[in-house]
A = this chain, B = another copy of it.
């Protein structure tokens, strides 16, 4: 089995590649070749089977054709210009997130000849726009309030139409906020949700820019990879024409996140969180969804963590070697 990952240099793409390398198989089929693609060179895990690491811009006409020419059985399309950049640079966002996605879909279609790969597309909860119901169901309408969300919503529509026409077996998964993100603090407005856990565990101070009652939904990077693997292997006949699914997540308040940190790590770590309200971030967060009703994805076998404690434990296991640093 041959697998292509677009966006393989990103955090989720990298973890997906590591998982596939570790498993050596997907859905019971032995992996014979893994093609890792990104606009910057993806890391190349060291394994027995063939790994190709490709660097290019898939929104340049002809590039997508090259990527699918070897007819990969499963394609993970994780490539995207993220929210802030897509808002700042309209042309770039539409070029990568819309044109690139369409080039990829059309490249698959043009192969024809019975070629019909599984295509897993990472969408985003940014397809939804406030005001929201208390819990956002799968059937809540698409009214994004960012260009990124618009582009992801368009990707979802194309995915469903091309799947309906039989060009590929598409599954779109709307990822919740991924927490705890490994690595350095970043400037994303949502960064603090990970930061207030990650920084204390790494002996650093974290700033909490919002009030303790802010509610948000999370899943671990490990769950994100599980979602992708499950989407690549589930029986699409169970999904029907509505191909885009909101993934399960754990909905907690910031206070509950901090309580979980206290239970898992202790007061000493919690003491490293300093609240410093930031009116701009507070305003952003007000427009974000708080809770999802993901019963459809759950009934199809997608699973996230069942508590925020579990999310913290996974971070400690996967990123800190299972041990609490001082």
Q: What B residues does A283 contact at CB under 8 A?
A: none
Q: What B residues does A157 contact at CB under 8 A?
A: 142, 144, 150, 153-154, 157
Judge whether A140 is part of the interface by a CB distance below 8 angstroms. yes
Q: What B residues does A142 contact at CB under 8 A?
A: 141-142, 157
Judge whether A32 is part of the interface by a CB distance below 8 angstroms. no
Judge whether A22 is part of the interface by a CB distance below 8 angstroms. no
Residue from B150, B161, B164, B242 within 8 A of A160 (CB atoms): B150
Q: Which residue of B lies closest to A109 (CB)?
A: B90
Judge whether A241 is part of the interface by a CB distance below 8 angstroms. yes
Q: A150 and B139 in contact (CB under 8 A), knowing A129-B241, A145-B241, A241-B129?
A: no
What are the interface flags for A140-164 relative to B under an 8 Å C-beta threshold, 1 for contact and 0 otherwise?
1111110100100110011011001
Q: What B residues does A139 contact at CB under 8 A?
A: 140-141
Q: How far is the CB of A127 from chain B (nearest CB, A)?
A: 9
Q: What B residues does A90 contact at CB under 8 A?
A: 165
Q: What B residues does A158 contact at CB under 8 A?
A: 150, 154
B147 contacts A160, CB within 8 Å? no
Residue from B138, B141, B150, B165 within 8 A of A161 (CB atoms): B150
A139 vs B131: C-alpha distance in the bound complex, in angstroms?
11
Q: What B residues does A154 contact at CB under 8 A?
A: 154, 157-158
Q: How far is the CB of A210 from chain B (nearest CB, A)?
A: 23
How many residues on the A side are at the interface (Cβ–Cβ under 8 A)?
Answer: 22
Q: What B residues does A140 contact at CB under 8 A?
A: 139, 141
Q: Which residue of B lies closest to A149 (CB)?
A: B161
Q: Which residue of B lies closest to A244 (CB)?
A: B143
Q: Which residue of B lies closest to A164 (CB)?
A: B145
What are the interface flags for A241-266 relative to B under an 8 Å C-beta threshold, 1 for contact and 0 otherwise?
11000000000000000000000000
Q: What B residues does A145 contact at CB under 8 A?
A: 164, 241
A49 vs B263: C-alpha distance in the bound complex, in angstroms?
77
A150 vs B164: C-alpha distance in the bound complex, in angstroms?
11
Q: Which residue of B lies closest to A127 (CB)?
A: B157
Q: A161 and B143 in contact (CB under 8 A), knowing A154-B154, A241-B129?
A: no
Q: How far is the CB of A157 from chain B (nearest CB, A)?
A: 5
> Interface residues, chain A, CB within 8 Å of chain B?
90, 129, 138-145, 147, 150, 153-154, 157-158, 160-161, 164-165, 241-242
For this complex, 23 residue pairs linking A to B, each with C-beta atoms less than 8 Å apart, are A90-B165, A139-B140, A139-B141, A140-B141, A141-B142, A142-B142, A142-B157, A143-B241, A143-B242, A144-B160, A144-B161, A145-B164, A145-B241, A147-B161, A147-B165, A150-B157, A150-B158, A150-B160, A150-B161, A153-B157, A154-B157, A154-B158, A157-B157
Q: A143-B160, A153-B157 are in contact. List 11 more A-B contacts (CB 8 A).
A: A139-B140, A141-B142, A145-B164, A145-B241, A147-B165, A150-B157, A150-B158, A150-B160, A154-B154, A154-B157, A157-B157
